[in-house]
Amino acid sequence: MPQRTILVIDDDIDLVEIIRVTLENEGYGVIDAQSGARGLELAREMTPDLIILDVMMGQVDEGFQVAYELRKGDSTRDIPIIMLTAVADQTGFAFDPGKDSDFLPVNEFVEKPISPRQLIDKIRKHLPTEV
Amino acid sequence: MAPGVPQGERIAAVSAQFVSAASLRVRSDWFNKLRWGAALGVLVGSAAAGLFSASAPLIVPLVAIGVLLLLLNAGYVIRNRRIRPRDIVAELRLVKMQMVADLVLLTAVLHFTGGVENPFQFIYIVHVIIASLLFKGREIFQIAWLAIGLFTLMVLGEHLGPLHHHHLLSASDLTHELPYMLMSLGSVWLVLLTSAYIGASIMHHNRSIKDELVDRQGGLVEAGKAQLDFFRFVTHEVKSPIVTAQSAVEAARELLEEGAEPVVRDMLDRAVRRLTQALGIVRDLADLTQGRMAAAPHWTDVDLALIVARTLEQQQESMAARGLTLEADLPTAPLTVYGDEGMIEKVVVNLLNNAVRYNRDGGSVSVTLVPTGDGVRFAVADTGIGIAGDDLERIFDEFYRAPEAREMTNVGTGLGLPIVRRFLQQMGGAVEVTSTPGQGSLFTVTLPKKHGAR
């Protein structure tokens, strides 16, 4: 089975490293981008199998903008997106992926701080191991 | 409130607009009430005069004046009801015209009731005082001079002949006694000008005090906002590193799996616990600052029964872990209140968390939710450590934790109950607590069905 590649887009370099170690330990390949623009470039060039996207980078909703762009591109439209949020504490809105998915083009939310187990479970849900 | 409009009412800053249109209207309505009294006074007075002595030629003009004043005032009242107070300049102009009409009518009444002989001439003072409540310096004196002018013209007119003099009662003809007439004129001049001066000074002083208060309040609001912005910035900046650190520790713990020495695992567990606690504080602080932002709440009808049921379900595990029994008395039908769903949920979660956290093992938590006349009552009772009398009020202070609570657990930020209280206040609700130390506490929340707080 070829190695699955996951793109991590987050401007917190420490958090990116934590996710990298966690994912590589599980056998995934990890590429990363520290900005939304760079993340979009990498997504188009490399077409990763899954994208982990931080909701809040430079701007409050930069992550959402990136997600919309990804959903627009032919090569990136079908890549599952897991969004990392701490939004509840910032805007007073608690996002509920079930309820809000019609206007939030992502597959899954993971609330920070990240529990490695939870993150891996959610990745596996969207990247089923081929038999 | 529209952006840029300072809180409170600006007075002296904008030349003519030292009163707002709305506050001028309040006074104008009040003067209209006084004017009903004046018109009735004229009518009753002329009726009394008719009963006792005076002749018909005197009574007819007086009744006419009374009726005219009634009609004019009816017009003023209807106008005030129909037209909303918007344009302060137009409102001021109208009030000034009304005052001129009042002064002319008063002079006419005095003319038909003895002129200089009538002691009611001092009613002019009332007008000058009202003018000083409404207008500023020069305008107050304009009204005073108008009153003086009208009165003087009438008295001189009657004295010199062009105007017919109507005797008051059967007194001697004072209007043709020069010394009396001059003394009377002089006293009216003196009293009116003095009233205008005193009124203008007092009101000027009051207005400058009010301006200063408005300025200070504006400053306080600004300072509060700056502090809030700073607060939000800090909570955000502090939260990010804590979140990252906690993720790192959890990842490390996961990577070590069972291989690590128990000591190391224990250290990592402690680190996670402390970081969780720190994050709790930061989150609660963020909630508190959120709660202070008037624009943040999203008002809707919220089904409180659903929120309580959902929260109880989430608490099941932690209750089972402590061996707690749940006694819930919840309505089966939805029970709506008007508020912000996130804020209401926070209130319910915080109270139930406390009931579990500060309970004794094997105790119970009782939850009741009932409709009241105009809202709902939600109560949470526990069988835990309770709260000493001195602490019943202090537990709502930010960061305060009762000694018993500290002793029991170091989990807890001291912000849960302040958040509960603040959120409820914002939604027009309230929270009360009663407790027996060592036996348990009862927190009772009331929330209105319709929002009436702000």
- The average pLDDT across B80-87 equals 82
Chosen for mutation from A12, A18, A84 (greatest number of chain B CBs closer than 10 Å) is A18
Q: How far apart are CA A75 and CA A42, in angstroms?
A: 12
* Cβ proximity of A63 and A77 under 8 Å: no
Local structure of B430: helix, strand or coil: strand
Cα torsion B130, B133, B134, B138: sign: positive
* Ramachandran angles phi, psi of B435, nearest 5°: -160, 150
What was the pLDDT predicted at A130? 55
Do A18 and B296 lie within an 8 Å CB cutoff?
A: no
Do B296 and A94 lie within an 8 Å CB cutoff?
A: no
Do B240 and A12 lie within an 8 Å CB cutoff?
A: yes
Domain-located, residue B414: yes
pLDDT tens, residue by residue, B161-219? 787 777 766 556 777 777 777 888 888 888 888 888 888 888 888 888 888 888 888 88
Domain-located, residue B378: yes
Minimum Cα–Cα distance from A12: chain B residue: B244
pLDDT tens, residue by residue, B322-371? 999 999 988 888 898 988 888 898 899 999 999 999 999 999 999 999 99
- Taking one residue from A and the other from B, the number of pairs with CB-CB distance under 8 angstroms is 52
DSSP secondary structure letter of residue A114? P
Do A12 and B275 lie within an 8 Å CB cutoff?
A: no
What was the pLDDT predicted at B53? 64
Q: How far apart are CA B337 and CA B454, in angstroms?
A: 16
> Taking 80 as the threshold, does the pLDDT of residue B447 lie above it?
yes
A25 and B CB contact within 8 Å: yes
Mean pLDDT of chain B, nearest integer: 82
Domain-located, residue B209: no
46-105 of A, contacting B, C-beta below 8 A: 86, 89-90, 92-94
Provide, rounded to the nearest whole percent, the portion of chain B with pLDDT above 70: 91
What was the pLDDT predicted at B185? 84
pLDDT tens, residue by residue, B297-320? 678 888 999 999 999 998 888 899
Domain-located, residue B105: no
Confidence of residue B452 (pLDDT cuts 50, 70, 90): very low
Helix segments in B53-136, DSSP class H: 56-82, 88-112, 124-134
Do B254 and A117 lie within an 8 Å CB cutoff?
A: yes
Q: How far apart are CA B382 and CA B193, in angstroms?
A: 73
Minimum Cα–Cα distance from A117: chain B residue: B254
B296 and A CB contact within 8 Å: yes
Distances (CA, A) of B185 to B132, B148, B190, B257, B371: 22, 8, 9, 106, 71
Of the candidate ranges A59-63, B101-105, B292-296, the one whose mean pLDDT is the lowest? B292-296
> Taking 90 as the threshold, does the pLDDT of residue B278 lie above it?
no
- The average pLDDT across A107-119 equals 84
Domain-located, residue B355: yes
What was the pLDDT predicted at B16? 45
Distances (CA, A) of B117 to B108, B110, B159, B334: 14, 9, 12, 77
CATH, residue B417 = 3.30.565.10
Provide, rounded to the nearest whole percent, the portion of chain B with pLDDT above 90: 22
- Count CB-CB contacts under 10 A for residue A99: 10
Residue B320's Cβ-count burial label (10 Å; 0-12, 13-18, 19+) is exposed
* Angle subtended by helix axes A116-126 and A13-25, to nearest 10: 70
B47 and A CB contact within 8 Å: no
Q: Which of B235, B243, B255 sits opposite A113 (nearest CB)?
A: B243
Q: How far apart are CA A67 and CA A104, in angstroms?
A: 8
Do A18 and B286 lie within an 8 Å CB cutoff?
A: no
Domain-located, residue B2: no
Minimum Cα–Cα distance from B248: chain A residue: A18
Q: How far apart are CA B309 and CA B332, in angstroms?
A: 10
- The set of residues, in sequence order, having a beta carbon less than 8 Å from that of B354 and lying 6+ positions away, is B380, B382, B416, B417, B443
What was the pLDDT predicted at B111? 85
A21 and B CB contact within 8 Å: yes
Type and span of the H or E element at A54? strand A50-54
What was the pLDDT predicted at B436? 93
Domain-located, residue B73: no
For each of the domains in chain A, give its residue range(s) and CATH number, in order of start.
5-126 (3.40.50.2300)
Confidence of residue B63 (pLDDT cuts 50, 70, 90): confident
What was the pLDDT predicted at B12? 37
Question: For residues B253 and B5, which has the higher predicted lDDT (pLDDT)?
Answer: B253
Distances (CA, A) of B43 to B36, B46, B66, B123, B156: 11, 5, 5, 16, 27
Mean pLDDT of chain A, nearest integer: 81
Confidence of residue A1 (pLDDT cuts 50, 70, 90): low
User: Which residues of B are less than 8 Å from A15 in CB distance?
Assistant: 243-244, 247
Q: How far apart are CA B383 and CA B441, in angstroms?
A: 7
The domain of B355 spans: 299-448
What was the pLDDT predicted at B172? 64
Kindly indicate whether the ipTM for this predicted assembly is greater than 0.95, answering yes or no: no
What was the pLDDT predicted at B169? 61
Domain-located, residue B184: no
Question: For residues B130 and B347, which has the higher predicted lDDT (pLDDT)?
Answer: B347
Minimum Cα–Cα distance from B281: chain A residue: A89
Q: Is the peptide bond before B57 cis (omega within 30 degrees of 0)?
A: no
**How many domains does the structure of chain B reveal?**
1
B273 and A CB contact within 8 Å: no
Q: Which of B239, B255, B290 sits opposite A86 (nearest CB)?
A: B239
User: Which residues of A are less than 8 Å from B314 in CB distance?
Assistant: none
pLDDT tens, residue by residue, B366-419? 999 999 988 899 999 999 999 998 899 899 988 888 888 888 877 777 888 988
B204 and A CB contact within 8 Å: no
